[in-house]
Structure 1
Amino acid sequence: MTSLLDPARLRAWWAHRQGLDGSLLGSDAATVLARTGWARSVGGAAPYLGLFARAGLTRAQVDAAVAAVEIHELPSARGCTYVLPAADFALGLTVGAGAPAGELAAAGKHLRVREAEIDTLCAAVLAALEGAEGALDPAAIKDAVGGAVRNLGEAGKKRGLGTTLPLALGLLQASGEIRRVPVNGRLDQQRYGYVRWLRTPVAVAEPEVELARRYFDWAGPATLGHFRWFSGFTAARAKAAVAPLGLVPVQGTDLLLPSALADEFAAYRRPEEPHYALLAGIDGLHLLHRALPRLIDPADAQRPVPGAKQGRVFGGDVDPQCHLVTDRGRIVGFWEFDPAAGEIVHQLFVPQDAALKEALARTEAFVRDELGDARGFSLDSPKSRAPKIRAMREG
């Protein structure tokens, strides 16, 4: 049993289940997301980098899948946006529906917004989109619905809500009646329009159980706490969601695994040869569990965080502050992209062998030639990441 709990073996298993061992090379985007989990999207390059690392997909292939609605960015777990495969659209929307409902309740309490007012606005938005030839951005929707949108004044601004329109758009997205589309078809930029989508609100039987089933297939072995982080469920809801799944414990830990994977997990052996991947800091390898130390070799825990205040160390962070170089699940370096130089800048924890050099060069070409940059999130910029890049060059 000791070998089953070897940290290096566990890391390699998680990387294997995430398709970071070459096993998904050539797969389409929907297949990768269904197998490895929904890709967090915050206006950065993470979905592109994750699909490239796992399946070698080009930006054009990913954008084509978005255009064909084979995959789509939707509000889902915890109300956060993820890129989902079509098979999971209804589930993602259903488990994420509580967030806009909660925002409406808060607006009612603090800003005197009433449900009837938002119902009227929702109907006006749908009518505007029904008559539109293409996607309408929020400004165009506001013009089209006229007085149905109300300005919420200074009180609303203090709560991050200038008008009632975002409340209506959030509710309509959660029901699947409209969808938000990137104006240039790209997932790494945040300019959106809205189009009419489903005429019947989505519904999924036992959505919490279905989310738990998918989660432990993507991320197992994982703890109930890991699942709670991903789902946003309370302890009671999480326990109820996993109860029908028949998960089996990994002896000596609080880790749980689907019984269908138990034999494969017991037989799994960490590959002898390295397999490198360059990922975003919010890639599912980390974010599905959000337990960063499990991916860090103890020898690397005290490494300084590039560009951070003196004394801040890698092992002390909740989330990585840089993009990641991984090998069989272990984080073996940091990287960022310098658009001015057209190159990846990195700080590695291991020597560069031929395979690592090839992985760096391949990803550098992908980012430079297809993405143009590798933003971590929507507000990331070459200027904001300059201290990290400088620290990596000097380090």
Structure 2
Amino acid sequence: MSTQPVTTHAPSVKEPVDIPEPQSLTRERLRAWAWHRQGLDGSLAGSTAEQVLARAGWARSVGGANPYLTLFARAGIRREQVDADVLAHRILELPAARGCTYVLGRDDFAWALQLGRDAAESAFKVVGRLGVDRGEVTLLEEQVLHTLAEADRPLDPRQLKDELGDSVRNLGEEGKKKGATTTLPTALGLLQSDGRIRRVPANGRLDQQHYAYEPWGLPASNFDDDAARTELIRRYLGWTGGATFKQSQWFTAFTVAQTKAALAAVGAVEVPTAQTSQDAAGGDALWMLPDDVGLLAAFDEPADEQIQLLAGTDSLFLLRRNAADLLADEDQHKPALESLALQADLPDHPILDRGRIIGLWQYEPAKERIVPWLFHGPTAAVTQRIAEVEAWIREDLGDFRAFSLDSPATRQKRIDALAASAEASGAG
């Protein structure tokens, strides 16, 4: 394979890095490469939850079942083991990049929380504009810590509010408009971002958004803020196998200057692809870790089917928000899919083969079944995997919620739409 030398943007890397010619990095090849980097090709079979999250990336948690399917799809880990790992603090759900909650492994707890601190501070700025000074919030933080220390069990926000009484200020109608009805959530967010308290799933499950709080006392990270940003970029590029500058910025919420500095610090290489174009959506060059450039150059796309059913918030999509790139060109022009091709986030859960979206699915709990729409009809491998995931949902979860407010009733319209599309196309 012909290559061209491209120098990296880090002074510590002395030698140029050879990368494939752009025309060899087609959308199809890059789909399979991202699939491999995400461990969806079977390479993470038998791994622990910590190992999966370190390799594939933190699992987005919004009160849905994505963290469970993330671990089941890649390593066959069942819910009972995941819940035990949470209870043992081997993995936890914490506010990290952009202040969003993810399930991550214990080696990442401290510096990931550090990344989410700006979001907690932003929440304070909101109540600050409503006349709450820092001293009031600091006092409330100390009272929360004292109350939790005295309690014989974790306390949920309502219980905390009852215990704290007038120490929690109601911010009235103006606060409600700004999403801050009282001062308690701000104090809880700041305490959590410092590792002084942590959220506990009320029933031990990650897919039902009912939480209580308990004291924690996590030691601070050894990273300064620049080092934490550098580490996130290193992990992010490793999880994705390469991402555009804009995609990196979206996930990290770093400024342009911070992103450039972090990319330089890890020696990232700018890699043109077959789709690179100033006019094409998502067609910017990829930034990659130097070692990954060589691995991509030697990467061969798998010849046999590799079927997975994933959540719409799986890291394969969420890290880069590039669902349209995972659709084949002929599928993007299907009438029912044209709007999907323009969306950053998927309205349904995807069925994939080696990184290509070949269908969509939802779970219908009343009938204990997956309702699929396959764009080109099922193969034996697709039918088998649907049956396996259907049985896992039935046995481990009971339902498959996309997010905290998802329910069979709110989902029914999407279920009916998938069933109608499958019937109309003769594929399902």
Q: Could you say if the C-alpha distance between residues 200 and 57 of structure 1 is closer, same or farther in structure 2, counting changes exceeding 3 Å?
A: closer
> Is the Cα–Cα contact under 8 Å of residues 171 and 182 in structure 2 kept in the other structure?
yes
Distance 2:386 2:107 in 1: 33
Equivalence for 1:390: 416
Equivalence for 1:15: 35
Distance 2:219 2:272 in 1: 46
Equivalence for 2:4: none
Segment drifting more, 96-105 vs 250-259: 250-259
Distance 1:166 1:328 in 2: 42
Letter in 1 for 2:399: D
3-state DSSP class of the match of 1:385? helix
3-state DSSP class of the match of 2:363? strand
Deviation, structure 1 residue 26: 1.4
Equivalence for 1:196: 215
Distance 2:336 2:158 in 1: 41
Counterpart among 86, 107, 123 of residue 106 in structure 2: 86
Segment drifting more, 240-249 vs 334-343: 240-249
Letter in 2 for 1:344: I
Deviations 1:249-269 (A, max 9, x none): 224541111111222110101
3-state DSSP class of the match of 2:140? helix
Letter in 2 for 1:345: V
Q: Any stretches of 5+ residues in structure 2 without a counterpart? A: 1-20, 277-284, 422-428
> Is the Cα–Cα contact under 8 Å of residues 24 and 54 in structure 1 kept in the other structure?
yes
Deviation, structure 1 residue 201: 4.5
> Is the Cα–Cα contact under 8 Å of residues 14 and 285 in structure 1 kept in the other structure?
yes
Deviation, structure 1 residue 15: 0.4
Distance 1:80 1:63 in 2: 21
Distance 2:155 2:223 in 1: 29
> Is the Cα–Cα contact under 8 Å of residues 175 and 202 in structure 1 kept in the other structure?
no
Segment drifting more, 200-209 vs 38-47: 200-209
Deviation, structure 1 residue 57: 0.8
Equivalence for 1:325: 351
> Is the Cα–Cα contact under 8 Å of residues 33 and 241 in structure 2 kept in the other structure?
no
Deviation, structure 1 residue 148: 1.4
Aligned-pair Cα RMSD in Å = 1.4
Counterpart among 7, 18, 24 of residue 4 in structure 1: 24
Equivalence for 2:402: 376
Does residue 245 of structure 1 match 2:260?
A: no
> Is the Cα–Cα contact under 8 Å of residues 303 and 313 in structure 1 kept in the other structure?
no
Matches within 5 A, 1:130-169: 130-169=149-188
Counterpart among 339, 344, 348 of residue 374 in structure 2: 348
Counterpart among 288, 296, 301 of residue 327 in structure 2: 296
Equivalence for 2:241: 220
Equivalence for 1:28: 48
> Is the Cα–Cα contact under 8 Å of residues 176 and 202 in structure 1 kept in the other structure?
no
Letter in 2 for 1:60: E
> Is the Cα–Cα contact under 8 Å of residues 307 and 385 in structure 2 kept in the other structure?
yes
Deviation, structure 1 residue 143: 2.0
> Is the Cα–Cα contact under 8 Å of residues 39 and 83 in structure 1 kept in the other structure?
yes
Equivalence for 2:426: none
Deviations 1:199-240 (A, max 9, x none): 654452311111111111111221111110100112111111
Deviations 1:280-339 (A, max 9, x none): 111100111112221111111133558xxxxx6221212110001011111110000000
3-state DSSP class of the match of 1:384? helix
Distance 1:386 1:69 in 2: 36
Distance 1:199 1:278 in 2: 36
Deviation, structure 1 residue 91: 1.7
Distance 1:220 1:21 in 2: 14
3-state DSSP class of the match of 1:74? strand
Does residue 170 of structure 1 match 2:189?
A: yes
> Is the Cα–Cα contact under 8 Å of residues 40 and 74 in structure 2 kept in the other structure?
yes
Equivalence for 1:274: 305
Q: Could you say if the C-alpha distance between residues 94 and 371 of structure 1 is closer, same or farther in structure 2, counting changes exceeding 3 Å?
A: same
3-state DSSP class of the match of 2:367? coil
Equivalence for 1:309: none
Distance 2:189 2:384 in 1: 43
> Is the Cα–Cα contact under 8 Å of residues 302 and 313 in structure 1 kept in the other structure?
no
> Is the Cα–Cα contact under 8 Å of residues 22 and 272 in structure 2 kept in the other structure?
no
Q: Could you say if the C-alpha distance between residues 340 and 227 of structure 1 is closer, same or farther in structure 2, counting changes exceeding 3 Å?
A: same
Equivalence for 1:46: 66
Distance 1:305 1:141 in 2: 48
TM-score computed with the length of structure 2 as normaliser: 0.88
Matches within 5 A, 1:62-141: 62-109=82-129, 111-141=130-160
Deviation, structure 1 residue 158: 1.4
Task: Determine what percentage of the aligned residue pairs are the same residue.
Answer: 48
Letter in 2 for 1:211: L
Deviation, structure 1 residue 161: 1.3
Deviation, structure 1 residue 2: 5.1
Q: Could you say if the C-alpha distance between residues 203 and 115 of structure 1 is closer, same or farther in structure 2, counting changes exceeding 3 Å?
A: farther
Distance 2:178 2:126 in 1: 10
Number of residue pairs matched?
389
Equivalence for 1:209: 230
3-state DSSP class of the match of 1:84? strand
Letter in 2 for 1:326: L
> Is the Cα–Cα contact under 8 Å of residues 70 and 85 in structure 1 kept in the other structure?
yes
TM-score computed with the length of structure 1 as normaliser: 0.96
Deviations 1:119-160 (A, max 9, x none): 000000000111111211111111222221111111111112
